[in-house]
Chains A and B, each alone.
Chain A
Amino acid sequence: MRTRRRRRSVRGAERLLTSTCDEAEREAVRLGGYLFGRPPGTEVVRAYVSDAAVRHIGGPVDAFDRTLLRIALRGELFARAADMYARLARPNAWLRRKLVLLLALSEVHGSDHAPFHEPVSPGMLRFTLYAAGRGLITLGSVVVLSPLFVALHLLRRGRSAS
């Protein structure tokens, strides 16, 4: 129920974007939706699409990076799996750099920084149970998408070898 509500709010935010808006704004909304369960504020989105942000994220990007990003933009579970894969296999992936940038921009805006400091489950036991649950979700998404990542990984290795 809660997840459905969150998804609706991310989709609602996307609908509010004008048809002429930049693809990068859509990306910020989707990645923010994945990271925080709700779309980032307008100031964060504006900062994410700024020239400084584009320069910051810039650098060599290959087809694998683009594919990983496309997968992440398909939805929350895809994003989670792609992110986890990047964390383990390619820490400096384009996707990961974009997510870290979005994290950094969100944590310095008063309206967006609550996810960084508000605890919701006091006590070690509840924290452990929550954490285990979240870990299982991540693990599940990685397992479900693992054939795709294995294929991508082999493709990447094949390309770099040639």
Chain B
Amino acid sequence: MSTVTVVGAGPSGIHFADALLARGHTVRMLDVGERPSATVHGEQSLEGLKGALDDPVRYFLGEGLESVIQPDHGSEYYGLPPSKAYVFEDPEAVGVDADGFEPLFSGARGGLAQAWTGGCYPFNDAELADFPFDFDAVRPYYEEVAGRIGVTGVEDDLAAFIPMHGGLEPPPELDRHAALLLERYRSVGGRLRGRDRARLGRSRVSVLTGEGRAGREPCAYLGRCLWGCPRKALYTPALTLDELTGHPRFEYLPGRRVLRFGVDDAQRVRSVTWRGPDGGPEQTEPVEILALAAGTLATSRIFLESWKTSRGDVVRLEGLMDNRQVMVPFLTPARVGHAYEPDSYQYNLVAMGLEADSAEEYVHCLITTLKTALVHPVIQSLPLDLRTATWVFRHIRAGLGLVNVNFHDRRRSDCYVELGRGESSGGSRLRIVYRPPEDETARVKVALRRLSRSLRDLGAIVPPGMTRWRPMGASVHYSGTLPMTPEERPLTTDATCRSRDFENLYVVDGSTFPFLPAKNLTFTLMANARRVAAEAFGG
């Protein structure tokens, strides 16, 4: 049995560790380890909190009002609540120079997925064509993850794009707006499928709807998904980490930002060097086997820094990918004047798939009907004076929704990461360069036209001029810098995510993905980490 040092406590690292422990190995996990503040008023709904809290401004908007979204804020319709501020690190403090990319980093216990929306969409065979395995090979690991974290879903029209697997729970209850869209789809679905090659169905999300488990209770529709579910119904990786910390062969070591690893003459990893999140002296400790799971950007930096230190030359990791996301607001007139439903599941309950000529270029649309949220960003975005905008908003609130349209990405040589000039507390600065593909604008426009037509058939209107392209980096689905490839070449990994440059180094996060479909990758990150644990460390 081996002792594996895992760097990073995001979804990949935690599920990799869980699977290793199940196979009898010992795991040491090095992590920055930022923690959230305590949950407030466990059973209050989000609207109830507004009356129950002594200081609602501090809870909802932050001590420095940092969650107030002013007109110059940019392209977002939603702001992050202060309770999730701990998830993200300041890119300046991390030491990043980005061109064409707005990266997000996390030092949180649980990683960036502590602020995810729970989407669990397995990749199908077309999307896995560049991976060294197909859906059937990874299916048991999807099922293992689903059983561990609780994933909801039903077999509906979307199954044409999103393969079915075992371990699915019934989906959360629909709000009336989402139910209306699905009801209309039942009558106009044929037209959508034929003309626009669009299909509507239930979202697959990681939320408990059946029985509680491991200290988690099923969803009670408190509308607090984004703020931090007090019942822990919405899965976040830190919940699994909490479970693992009681394991006798698991050691969680927070307060360690890994800078690089050290190798011997045979290019075997022998040590890792880290320092505290706020700086301090460097410390080195020995490792037997190292697994990098710090997230694509942080993993890439550790790899680049280690390469430079051990081999003396500087390399560039090409192929950085991320999903382009476009936000499309819509209004369903039939819901105008109705009361909105604050006590409901807050995130998307339905999703739309747009088939592409090439199956792997599928476009995935997450449809969120507006329920609980801070709404001043939406109100001020209306092209009206604020008094009229507030009045209009309150009447149309129950009919408002937002589609998050996701597009696939491919590895390209003009999207890369390399070490930059200068130092930061996190080590050498990281330079990130991203260039969108040439056909992107045309492709997105075509998809948006199809989406608008489909929404119109479902009885919804897309207001002109309100569609917003999120900057690259905003979707946080980073991947592709150390890909799994069939051919042996430097700066790649094999089918078990083992480095071709350092024999006892594994890379178990999104860095190894050779292709990025339009779907949220987190479910596949967790499944792949478990697959690597099984195939490289004993079945």
Contact = CB atoms under 8 A, between A and B. Distances in A.
Interface string B63-94: 11100111110000000000000000000000
Interface string A116-150: 11111111101100110011001000000000000
Contacts of B376: 100, 103-104, 107
A120 B394 CA distance: 9
A35 interface: yes
A87 B250 CA distance: 56
B265 interface: no
Contact of B61 (A105, A113, A118): A105
A135 B69 CA distance: 25
Interface string B376-403: 1001100111111011111111100000
A74 B383 CA distance: 23
B132 interface: no
A100 B387 contact: no
A35 B386 contact: yes
A53 interface: yes
B337 interface: yes
Contacts, number: 140
Interface string A87-108: 1100110001101110111011
Nearest to A83: B385
A8 interface: no
A49 interface: no
26 contacts: A35-B387, A80-B385, A87-B384, A99-B386, A100-B70, A103-B380, A104-B61, A104-B68, A108-B59, A108-B61, A110-B51, A110-B56, A113-B50, A115-B391, A115-B394, A116-B379, A117-B394, A118-B394, A119-B337, A119-B394, A119-B395, A122-B337, A124-B334, A131-B391, A131-B392, A138-B388
A83 B375 CA distance: 18
B40 interface: no
B356 to A, nearest CB: 35
A47 interface: yes
A55 interface: yes
Given A56-B65, A103-B379, A107-B375, A119 B388 contact: no
Interface string B319-346: 0000000000000011011111010000
A73 to B, nearest CB: 14
A100 B71 contact: yes
Contacts of B383: 87-88
A124 B336 contact: yes
B395 A121 contact: yes
Contacts of B141: none
**Main secondary structure on B side of the interface with A:** helix
Given A91-B71, A110-B52, 20 more contacts: A52-B63, A55-B65, A80-B387, A80-B388, A87-B383, A96-B386, A100-B71, A101-B65, A103-B379, A105-B61, A107-B375, A109-B56, A109-B57, A115-B391, A119-B395, A124-B336, A126-B337, A127-B395, A127-B396, A130-B391
A119 B339 contact: yes
Interface in B434-464: none
Contacts of B385: 80-81, 83-84, 87, 138
B391 A119 contact: no
| Band of interface residues on B | 35 or more
B162 interface: no
B71 A116 contact: no
Most central of B337, B387, B391 by chain A CB within 10 Å: B387
Contacts of B159: none
Contacts of A104: 61, 65, 68-69, 374, 376
Nearest to B79: A104
A36 interface: yes
A139 to B, nearest CB: 10
A111 B51 contact: yes
B390 to A, nearest CB: 6
B362 interface: no
B375 A84 contact: no
B390 A108 contact: no
B16 interface: no
A138 B384 contact: yes
Ranked 8 nearest A-B pairs via Cβ: A110-B51, A122-B337, A108-B60, A84-B385, A110-B50, A83-B385, A56-B65, A103-B376
A53 B398 contact: no
A1 B334 CA distance: 32
A110 B379 CA distance: 18
Contact of B50 (A81, A96, A108, A135): A108
Contacts of A96: 71, 380, 386
Contacts of B338: 119, 122
B56 A56 contact: no
A34 B385 CA distance: 11
B375 A123 contact: no
Nearest to A99: B386
B327 to A, nearest CB: 18
Most central of A88, A121, A124 by chain B CB within 10 Å: A124
Given A107-B374, A119-B395, A119-B398, A53 B65 contact: yes
A47 B70 contact: no
